[in-house]
Amino acid sequence: MKKSIKIILAVLLVGGAIGGIVAYRMWNKPHADASEMEGVKVTADVLYKAFESNEQQANSTYVGKVVEVTGTVGDIEKSDTISRVMLTFPDAMMGAVRVTLDTRHLKDADAVKSGEQATFKGFCNGYLMDVEVKDGVLVKE
């Protein structure tokens, strides 16, 4: 009986150690940087309309992938911890593409002005009234 308890405790201890190591490595893995990746080039209107017309197909095409989206800069929200840029298009009535800038690239919001054309690259996160692109970075041409 005592031998089986020692074996169970040893297995739990080893399993806990392995689990701890895996969790530590996943928590500290490097953050993906969209600026160093190839992105699917698309305009804001094409991206938005893809989600509006067939969200399921657009999810499989864009979600989780790097997109390089071009559009007219609309609203720009800035704070010390987050910056968001709305990319609109001429016939946009309700929606837009909302790019949340990567924390390492918050100053990119200072480089664009409302009404200008701009291209941002980031990870497409899906559609919630607007198409959400996270970890964005300004593409300088």
Whether residue 54 is found in the same domain as residue 104: yes
Whether residue 58 is found in the same domain as residue 111: yes
pTM comes to: 0.73
In this predicted structure, the answer to whether residue 129 has a pLDDT above a threshold of 90 is no
pLDDT per position as a tens digit, 1-35: 688 888 888 899 999 999 988 888 888 777 677 77
Domain count of the fold of the chain: 2
pLDDT of residue 90: 67
Whether residue 81 is found in the same domain as residue 113: yes
What CATH number is associated with residue 111?
2.40.50.140
Grouping H, G, I as helix, E, B as strand and the rest as coil, residue 33 is: coil
Phi and psi of 128, rounded to 5°?
A: -140, 85
Domain boundaries, position 59: 35-138
pLDDT per position as a tens digit, 53-91: 999 999 999 999 999 999 888 888 887 777 777 777 666
Give 76's contacts (C-beta < 8 A, 6+ positions apart).
Answer: 83, 84, 85, 86, 109, 112, 114
